[in-house]
Amino acid sequence: MKKIITISAVAIAILSGCNTAPIYRAVHENGVKQEQLVVSPNDHRAYKTLKLDNDLEVILVSDPSVQKSAAALSVGVGLLQDPPEQQGMAHYLEHMLFLGTERYPEAEGYQKFMSQHGGADNAYTWLDVTNYMFKINNDSYADALDRFSDFFKSPKLYEEYADKEKNAVNAEWSMRREMDFFGEFKLGRSLMGDHPANHFLIGNLESLGDKEKSKLHQETVNFYNTYYSSNIMKVALVSNQPLAEMEALAKKYFGDIPNKHIKKPKITQLVDMEQAAGKLIHYLPNTDVKQINLDFTIKNNMDDFAYKPNRFVEYLISSEMPGTPAQLLRNKGWISSLSSSASANQYGNYGTLSVNIQLTDEGMKNREEIVKTVMQYIHLIKNQGVNKKYFAEIKTSLNNEFQFLERSDEFNYVSSLSAAMQDYPINHVIDSGYYYQKFDAYKINEVLNQLTPKNLRIWYISKQEPTDSQMHFYDGKYKIESISSTEIESWSKPSKFSLSLPAVNTLLPENFAIKTNKDNMDKPQLVRDKNGIKIWQFPSHDFSNQPKGSLQVYFNNPKAQTDIKAKVLLSIWSDLFNLNQTALITEASIAGMNLSVIPSNGIILNVSGFTDKQPQLLSNALELLQPKFDEQGFDQAIDRYVRNIANQGKQFPVSQSFGKYRQVIQTGQYQSDALIDTAKSLKPEDLTNLITEVLEHNQVRVFAFGNYGAQDISDITNKLENHQANNHQTTAYARTKMWKPIPGQVVVYQEDLSVADVAVIDLYVNPEPGFKQKARGQILQRHFSTFASAKLRTEEQLAYAVGAFSGTVDDYATLGLYIQTPVKGPKEMQQRFDQFKKEYLVELNKMTPEAFEQLKNSTLISLKEKPKNLEEEVSPFINDWYKENFNFDSRQQLIDEVEKVTLYDVKSFYHETMENPEAARLSVQLRGAKFKDKPYATFKNETLVKDVAKFHNEMHVQ
């Protein structure tokens, strides 16, 4: 539930905007501080900002269309303020606040309330911020605000829960300790000596606890008393109520949070760059990657957000235009990707700007040359790149994006607002990422001048690195050297490649006209069906003023269903297309369009974003659909594929368990070792043959959603007809089939993992197919899951990730439990689950009619929620389209059935599913390395799946 969001620098960069239309442009010309909150012209919600009497700043967003209201509160404190004797304190306190307050003393009360009223909640801790958020059914908003705001007035911080929650934090750490991101992040910070950024972020049983001069409970209380003050808190609220009423709510619930008049914590301590940088770090990761990172530490320049110097530099470094390092080094077969990202306040008073490069084996042999090329290119930027034309391009791109900014879910919206309020002047919190006031060469040069060897760490990350040290809290091994002076000297010599700065972007949209009429179609319609090409069209109903659309072109072919070679080759095809077309994909992305090829039954070519230049993009993509490759390029793609499959085995056991679950129940899925063996046996001609096969034998299906007019549809048809192979044959539509559950069957999948923890999924299938059963499961799952989390996580500390879910296996409804546990083997865990199911039955039998109505109502509210953006709107239609339900009514059928469900129905659903010896079952047991000697769970009449392909051959399908 609660998690640490990894706001890695990687996530922050990436331009995805677009255009030239000047609607928004004139808004700010008078300096950074705006009098008014700046919102997108596409955003018609009402806004207000205010400062309460206790100095707490608030943003109110009134949106009559929302079915759920949301709130977030951020505190300007984080790991940078952790007491050195209790590292992980900021994060630990974040956990403790959920466990009862003066007015609502019950430790589980908040979670129960949330679950009863269709709520969701979370929180995260980072270096300089701790952020809390929730969303809830509109009619429970005031009650939820009352409970939530009490966290910040009078939390109980029960001493008796201190130990339990310490275990929860420990479980969270245990889950992440093998993740390379956390290991690398900590190692980088450990070079910063006694700068507070070097604290341990998550905390565990070693770092948190009673020590001679520092008692955990007392320190927790002290930390809260010191830093939880209204004047360093920010609140964002979204609801369906008018602004005046929201303002009254804000004052009522947040106005009495105590103001301790503290100074916002600010780090000023300097880092000794002699120690912290100028280093070459060899890092041995858990996953099989081949990587170079150039990691520059720069001064915090958050205040320059309106001049975007970091963005300007990132833009040039990561350009894919001819002559840039990305393009030159990829053409040599040395790298598969190069990107750049920055975080202005990563370490408090310092930020980072980094270049991340993924290597091939050839690249591994030329690492010094690659680093040299990037450093020489940075030199070129310093000399010739600080040019206004790039500013104009970036500004246009950002403007386009902001002008047609799409909404996100209100939960994510409030949390991003409350976080941004800590970093930017309040009137710029929405547009801070898009607002590019002016070209400022001085500020750009200021950043460029810090990209020097003295501020640089070079990371060599691969399975082949030499190591001499082991990290303390994480699993990584490493070795640190100084960057040699001869290497540094080589960077100032002229490059042997002809490096050049990027050319201009030609795909920026110019026309934002709306070409569709939504009144003509109330559901997707088949508008073309000729020569093996079928096109469905559907205009947006909720965002019909958006000049955007998404086009899926599905070259459907049945081979991957039965042929593991085809399965692997389709992935290789997609990888090589995406790699070969990186320049086009990047140019499109700056222009506000996305382009990708993904493997499926055949391949799917996706084009989305602004529709103006999509015809050009589609033509380019079709022309280049057959990637050019030589033997080396093919082998490198196989190497990436094999490592990618192998690295899946390093993921969290809980996420692996859901992957294995899908592998077992779906046709056309294969086991990892079989995929790897197959991949290693393939030759370049196999790919050529497969591509020919798919392009000659297929059925082309297109789903055009959004701003496409009749002319566009004809144009798409023509393009596809022209593209069709001469001897084309139309094949039957191939679709993945699902396991048909047989009464009494228990399908069991077991696997030993190389990571530490155990994951178990224990799933039951209701014997009767149909929406009636799915509806019952939907209502029950929330209640079931909350009880599972309260019992197994909070009370018994068995896991950080645990819950219940009701999914579907095609037509059938399921009910199941899942867990990732660091304390029990699979058999023991299964026994606990078996017991727990009986405990839950007692709880279910106690459910009152009122409580049931609330649950049902919450389910309906969620199902009927209006989409927030184009992607949410189209998603249920696309699901039906894949499944060939051309009534496009799956969601409506589910809603209709939910309306009819009674309390008696959900009780009998539980009975017929969980307590029914005849119900089919599926058990996935992944046994972590720590539990090697612990037994697996066994079942009467079990079908143990040792070979997934063999199981699929014998499996009944729906």
Contact (CB, 8 A) for 70 and 135: yes
Spatial CB neighbours of 598, under 8 Å, sequence gap ≥ 6: 574, 604, 606
Q: How far is the CB of 48 from Zn ion (least distance, A)?
A: 32
Q: Which is nearer to Zn ion, 131 or 540 (CB)?
A: 131
Amino acid at 906: V
Q: What whole-number distance in Å separates Cα of residue 587 and Cα of residue 580?
A: 13
Which residues between 428 and 467 bind Zn ion (CB under 5 A)?
none
Spatial CB neighbours of 154, under 8 Å, sequence gap ≥ 6: 101, 102, 103
The number of beta carbons lying within 10 Å of the beta carbon of residue 244 is: 10
Q: Tell whether residue 2 is a contact of Zn ion (CB under 5 A).
A: yes
Q: Using alpha carbons only, what angle is made at residue 954 by residues 950 and 956, rounded to the nearest 5 degrees?
A: 135
Q: Which is nearer to Zn ion, 122 or 154 (CB)?
A: 122
Q: Which of 511, 520, 514 is nearest to 538 (CA)?
A: 520
Q: From residue 167 to residue 196, what is the string marking binding to Zn ion with x (rule CB under 5 A)?
A: -----x------------------------
* Stated length of the chain: 958
Q: Using alpha carbons only, what angle is made at residue 172 by residues 167 and 174, rounded to the nearest 5 degrees?
A: 90
Q: Which is nearer to Zn ion, 203 or 592 (CB)?
A: 203
Q: Which is nearer to Zn ion, 2 or 701 (CB)?
A: 2
Q: Which of 199, 229, 185, 217 is nearest to 93 (CA)?
A: 217
Contact (CB, 8 A) for 895 and 860: yes
Q: Tell whether residue 723 is a contact of Zn ion (CB under 5 A).
A: no
Q: Which is nearer to Zn ion, 98 or 818 (CB)?
A: 98
By CB under 5 A, the count of residues binding Zn ion is: 2
User: Which residue has the closest beta carbon to Zn ion?
Assistant: 2
For residue 449, the number of C-alpha atoms closer than 13 Å in the C-beta half-sphere is 7
Q: Which two tokens stand for residue 921?
A: 């079952």
Q: How far is the CB of 169 from Zn ion (least distance, A)?
A: 6
Q: How far is the CB of 99 from Zn ion (least distance, A)?
A: 13
Q: What whole-number distance in Å separates Cα of residue 652 and Cα of residue 681?
A: 29
Q: How far is the CB of 2 from Zn ion (least distance, A)?
A: 4
Q: What whole-number distance in Å separates Cα of residue 837 and Cα of residue 289?
A: 42
Q: How far is the CB of 181 from Zn ion (least distance, A)?
A: 16
Contact (CB, 8 A) for 150 and 100: no
Q: How far is the CB of 204 from Zn ion (least distance, A)?
A: 12
Q: How far is the CB of 232 from Zn ion (least distance, A)?
A: 21
Q: Which is nearer to Zn ion, 2 or 330 (CB)?
A: 2
Q: Which is nearer to Zn ion, 2 or 952 (CB)?
A: 2
For residue 226, the number of C-alpha atoms closer than 13 Å in the C-beta half-sphere is 15
Q: What whole-number distance in Å separates Cα of residue 618 and Cα of residue 610?
A: 13
Q: Which is nearer to Zn ion, 172 or 410 (CB)?
A: 172
Q: Tell whether residue 234 is a contact of Zn ion (CB under 5 A).
A: no
Q: For residue 515, give Cα distances in angstroms to 199, 518, 521, 704.
A: 55, 10, 14, 13
Q: Which is nearer to Zn ion, 716 or 792 (CB)?
A: 792
Q: Using alpha carbons only, what angle is made at residue 517 by residues 515 and 523, rounded to the nearest 5 degrees?
A: 125
- DSSP conformational letter for 605: E
Three-state DSSP state, 775: helix
Q: How far is the CB of 4 from Zn ion (least distance, A)?
A: 6
Q: Which is nearer to Zn ion, 2 or 28 (CB)?
A: 2
Q: How far is the CB of 822 from Zn ion (least distance, A)?
A: 15
Q: How far is the CB of 418 from Zn ion (least distance, A)?
A: 18
Q: Which is nearer to Zn ion, 172 or 880 (CB)?
A: 172
Q: How far is the CB of 172 from Zn ion (least distance, A)?
A: 5
Q: How far is the CB of 203 from Zn ion (least distance, A)?
A: 9
Q: What whole-number distance in Å separates Cα of residue 132 and Cα of residue 862?
A: 21
Q: Which is nearer to Zn ion, 94 or 587 (CB)?
A: 94
Q: Which two tokens stand for residue 855?
A: 């649950």
Q: How far is the CB of 254 from Zn ion (least distance, A)?
A: 24
Which residues between 99 and 118 bind Zn ion (CB under 5 A)?
none
Contact (CB, 8 A) for 816 and 761: yes
Q: From residue 143 to residue 172, what is the string marking binding to Zn ion with x (rule CB under 5 A)?
A: -----------------------------x
Q: What whole-number distance in Å separates Cα of residue 880 and Cα of residue 898?
A: 19
Q: Which is nearer to Zn ion, 155 or 592 (CB)?
A: 155
CA 554 to centroid of chain Cα atoms: 25
Roughly how many angstroms between the first and final C-alpha of the chain, as a whole number? 34
The binding site for Zn ion (CB under 5 A) comprises 2, 172
